[in-house]
Amino acid sequence: MRARAVGRVKPFAAAAAAIAGCVALVMLSADSPAWDDSSSAVLVATFTAAILLGEWFQVSGPRVRGSAPLATAAALGFVFTTELPGGRGVSYGSVFVLAVTATAITGVALLRHLSGREVSPVETTGRFVSVAVAALLYRVVHLGQERGRPVVDDGLDPWQRALLMLSIAVVALLADAFVMSMARALLRAAWWQAFKDEIRSTFALSTALAVTGVLIALAVPPLGAPAVPLFLSPLVLTLFAFRRYMTIRATYLQSIRTLSRLTDAAGYTPAGHSERVAAMALAVGRALGLPERDLANLEYAALLHDIGQVALVDPIPGGATVLAAPADQRRIGADTLAIVRETGVLEDAATILEHQATPYRQWREFGEEIPLTSRILKVVNAYEDLTAGSRSQRARERAVERIYLGLGYEYDPHVVDALLRHLETAPPT
């Protein structure tokens, strides 16, 4: 009990120490604002509040990277804003901006942790890195420092300044994607694929964040602090829309899971067979560097891959389609494909299922197009059928030996290697 209590206290103490360090940096920094300047004080308070609220109301979902769009856009606007109404420059520098941002991010992370909400140190670090990169490139490299304060007049036309800020914001968000892809690469070898997947999945949102941050910076000189909530309001609407989308997506996946249990309930397959295949297929797919979109379709296909067995008059013993004759496998696959395509919304999953019974040699020797996701499903389903859900060492060895007999003919060797690596990290029972 005492050890567990100490284990809970350590993260809190570390977070509190980090917050204390950031606060001290703010208070002692030579870049801190002149607090008797009401315009600067109000602007700092507005940006700080926006970052705090944005960090609290994050967005996340299954296989969707967590993000804080309001906080990120506000922090970028904080970095780029160097002019107050009336043509006066802000009375603080880049170190102060980073200190305030770090304090807000760390403080909210601690509060979320204490309230039982999920906190990702990698995602939090990535957001701060993006702000730090933007501050370095814009305030330090481009504007330079004059007595700890960035100069206001950089000699650029407004549209040139806007393009420059937008370019720096894009580079900063790429740094965030780089941090995330490096973290994902620790779990799998395909770093470049992880980085491309990160760019592809966050491109639309990152574009909106970059544009919003720049608009805030351009609007503060004529409008003052009200420009911050004014230009963040579209992201608030986007936040609500995204949360509704994730709710619909969760319901959609739950419906597919319920449909996948039909074969279990009817006695055609062992209990939990489809869910075990789906979980293992996802692990193998991640190890092979599949993007998130393909992983989602692979999960849908894995959950529904045996639904065609409901058309059988006599069930296959143990539901093991790998032990059925090739003609029976093709017939079950065709029935499964017909049922899935009847939904009208799972065409990508249907493409995977269309080739789930195709031998690997058809691709290797005859050049037939067999998606990697189909090859993954074929190997994982064979392993699950041959073990009958058992996780014992003996069942594993027999299943792997049987798969090796068809290596290069029925099964893709690269997929089998990825499966074996996964099995090494999941100890037998």
Q: What tens digit of pLDDT does each residue of 395-410 get?
A: 888 888 999 988 888 8
Q: Is the pLDDT score of 66 beyond 80?
A: no
Q: Look at 138 and 18; give whichever has higher pLDDT.
A: 138
Q: Is the pLDDT score of 35 beyond 70?
A: no
Are 103 and 155 in a shared domain? yes
User: Which among 121, 79, 123 has a CA at the least distance from the CA of 97?
Assistant: 79
Q: Is the pLDDT score of 169 beyond 60?
A: yes
Alpha carbon distances (Å) from 251 to 247, 264, 281, 340? 6, 21, 21, 17
Residue 139 located in a structural domain: yes
Question: What integer best gives the mean pLDDT of the chain?
Answer: 80
Are 206 and 318 in a shared domain? no
3-class SS at 304? helix
Q: Look at 68 and 314; give whichever has higher pLDDT.
A: 68
Which of 18-27, 121-130, 333-342 comes out lowest in average pLDDT? 18-27
- φ, ψ for residue 181, nearest 5 deg: -70, -35
**What is the tens place of the pLDDT at every residue in 204-243?**
888 888 999 999 999 999 998 999 999 999 888 887 877 7
Which of 136-145, 250-259, 402-411 comes out lowest in average pLDDT? 250-259
**What is the tens place of the pLDDT at every residue in 69-102?**
899 999 999 999 988 887 787 878 888 888 889 8
3-class SS at 388? coil
Q: Is the pLDDT score of 322 beyond 80?
A: no
Of the three residues 214, 248, 282, the one that is the final residue of a domain is 248
Are 235 and 383 in a shared domain? no
Q: Which domain holds residue 414?
A: 263-425
**Domain count within the chain:** 2
Of the three residues 221, 248, 275, the one that is the final residue of a domain is 248
Q: Is the pLDDT score of 9 beyond 90?
A: no
Residue 254 located in a structural domain: no
Are 185 and 278 in a shared domain? no
Are 236 and 272 in a shared domain? no
Are 147 and 89 in a shared domain? yes
Residue 406 located in a structural domain: yes
User: Do residues 384 and 360 touch, judged by C-beta distance below 8 A?
Assistant: no
Residue 256 located in a structural domain: no
Are 211 and 62 in a shared domain? yes
Are 72 and 112 in a shared domain? yes
Residue 290 located in a structural domain: yes
CATH number, domain of 307, equals 1.10.3210.10
Render the burial of 104-136: b for 16+ CB within 10 Å, e for the rest.
Answer: bbbbbbbebeeeeeebbeebbebbbbbbbbbbb
User: Do residues 274 and 305 touch, judged by C-beta distance below 8 A?
Assistant: yes
Alpha carbon distances (Å) from 362 to 46, 328, 369, 408, 425? 62, 18, 8, 10, 31
Across-strand partners of 67? 59
Q: How confident is the model at residue 61 (pLDDT cuts 50, 70, 90)?
A: low
Residues 6+ apart with CB under 8 A from 20: none
Residue 258 located in a structural domain: no
Of the three residues 223, 248, 273, the one that is the final residue of a domain is 248
Residue 253 located in a structural domain: no
